[in-house]
Structure 1
């Protein structure tokens, strides 16, 4: 545990975190995620022929919905498109 001298500022006091800005950023990310999820689920409503025209399958869309570990849904679908183009 580190001790601070009476004249020193704490780390928390020196940070520039604005709670209102953090909350706004969280709402913005949540809205973007909801919009992205709605777009991906609308792809599931397409028939197999339309998905094939796009170069993806239903399984590719399902994998994009569950994209994790730094991969975005776009990355998953682009990889599927290039894999299916061969």
Structure 2
């Protein structure tokens, strides 16, 4: 057991974790995820010709919706557009 000297704060007392801020940050993350999901779903409603104009396919959108392992939906769609531009 460690003893503290008078005037020293414990590690827990020195942390700046605010549960209210954490809750607000969580709500912001949920809201952003919902906005991304809505945008991707609206892309799925476009016809193939418009998607081709954008340089993506419906399969690319599906891949973007399932993006994980450090990849974001934007990264997936950007890579798909780059592949399409090279063709």
TM over 0.5: yes
11-20 or 56-65, which deviates more: 11-20
Q: How many residues align?
A: 84
Q: What are the superposed Cα offsets for residues 23-62 of structure 1, whole Å, 9 maximum, x if unpaired? A: 0000001001100100001100011111000000001000
Alignment counterpart, residue 5 of structure 1, candidates 3, 8, 13: 3
* Unaligned residue ranges in structure 1 (runs of 5+): none
Higher mean C-alpha deviation, range 42-51 or range 7-16: 7-16
Q: Could you tell me which residue of structure 1 aligns to residue 55 of structure 2?
A: 55
Aligned Cα RMSD in Å?
1.2
1:3-29, CA deviations, whole angstroms, 9 ceiling, x for partnerless residues?
Answer: 321435432222100000000000001
Which aligned runs of 4 or more in structure 1 are off by greater than 4 angstroms? none
Name the SS of the counterpart of 2:70 in structure 1: coil
Structure 2 residue runs without a partner (length 5+) = none
Contact 1:37 1:65 in 2 (8 A): yes
* Alpha-carbon distance, 1:71 to partner: 1.1
Alignment of 1:12-23 (within 5 A): 12-23=12-23
1:39 corresponds in structure 2 to: 39
Deviation, structure 1 residue 84: 1.4
TM-score in terms of structure 2 length: 0.88
Query: Contact 1:64/1:76 (CA < 8 Å) preserved in 2?
Result: yes
